[in-house]
Every structure is written in C-alpha cells, then in structure tokens.
C-alpha cells in the first residue's frame, strides 16, 4: 500500500539559524572582522528623538555589505535575497521572523547620494570613476538630462581627459 506523508504544523520549532549556516560560509569571516559597534554612535546625531522608529542603521549597513560582496546591484533583488537566504539573514541578525526592510528604504538614499556625487564629464565604463577625488581645477558634475539643458554640455578639456587617463591607467 502506498503511504502518504502527512505534514502537521508543530506548535513550536527548535531551529537555530546559527546551526544552518556552514562554518566555512564567506560571511562568517566577514562577520568576525566587522565591528559595527560605532555605527549607532556615529549615526545618532542624524536621527530625530520623535517620530516613527527608523530602520536599524546596522541592519542597513549589513544588507548593503551583503549586496556589495555578492554582486547584487538592485535593492529589490537585495531585499528578496536577504529574505530567502539563511546565511544572509544570519549575517544581518534578522533571525527567521525578522522583517526585511522594503526596497524603497534604500533607493532614495542611494539615488540621492549617486546624483549628488561629483563625477567626471568623461564617459567611463568603470564604476570606480565616481569614487575618485577630483583635482581642484576639475569641477565637472553630472550634467542634467538632454531635454532639460538650455545650453550645450560643457566641452571636455584636455586637462579632464588627461586626469581621466591617469585615474584609469
């Protein structure tokens, strides 16, 4: 006779997330080296004493670190990955029942920071270009979209081109 497996939902589970993340998981090594105790102290002046409770800044840093280390470029994808992956949940200190922040928690901050960051006017395929400090004479910032420009974009000077070549080797 063919048996049928009946799934009964137990009232209590004895599940430790720590036991289900392999000891050689790459995020374990990162976690041993990562000291996030200073984050609250540094970020405290930027938070109001009134209003809704915010998302834990340590959680946001840990999630962004997971995305960076694993090549997850979309905040939507990052939130989905952290929601599903036990190793990521362990690293972010979420446990099994911890709520993952919505993707919109990240997008306004990252989009604003990316737009405000000065960038070279030289087209570049490397993402690290925006992170390189500019010389004082190179004040190029991201130009507005073509439809919003009333005048043509500034010409690329030979000094800007030389600086870009030096940065990218």
The percent of residues in the chain predicted with pLDDT above 90, rounded, is 28
pLDDT for position 150: 52
Per-chain mean pLDDT for the chain = 74
pLDDT at residue 114 in the model = 43
DSSP for 7-22, written as a single string: ----S-----GGGGS-
What's the CA gap between 153 and 147, in Å, rounded?
12
Confidence of residue 69 (pLDDT cuts 50, 70, 90): very high
CB 21 within 8 A of CB 87: yes
Q: Is the pLDDT of residue 101 over 80?
A: yes
Residue 31's pLDDT is what? 92
Dihedral of alpha carbons 99, 41, 104, 18, sign: negative
Higher pLDDT, 136 or 19: 19
**Under 8 Å between Cβ of 72 and 81:** yes
């Amino acid at each position: 006779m063919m048996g049928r497996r009946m799934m009964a939902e137990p009232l209590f589970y004895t599940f430790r997330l720590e036991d289900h993340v392999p000891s050689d998981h790459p995020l374990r090594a990162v976690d041993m080296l990562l000291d996030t105790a200073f984050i609250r102290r540094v970020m405290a002046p930027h938070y109001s004493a009134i209003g809704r409770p915010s998302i834990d800044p340590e959680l946001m840093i840990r999630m962004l670190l997971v995305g960076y280390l694993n090549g997850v470029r979309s905040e939507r994808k990052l939130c989905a990955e952290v929601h599903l992956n036990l190793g990521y949940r362990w690293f972010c200190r979420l446990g099994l029942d911890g709520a993952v922040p919505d993707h919109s928690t990240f997008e306004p901050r990252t989009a604003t920071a990316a737009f405000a960051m000065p960038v070279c006017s030289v087209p570049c395929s490397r993402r690290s270009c925006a992170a390189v400090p500019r010389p004082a004479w190179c004040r190029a910032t991201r130009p507005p979209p073509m439809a919003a420009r009333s005048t043509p974009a500034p010409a690329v000077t030979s000094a800007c081109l030389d600086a870009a070549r030096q940065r990218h080797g």
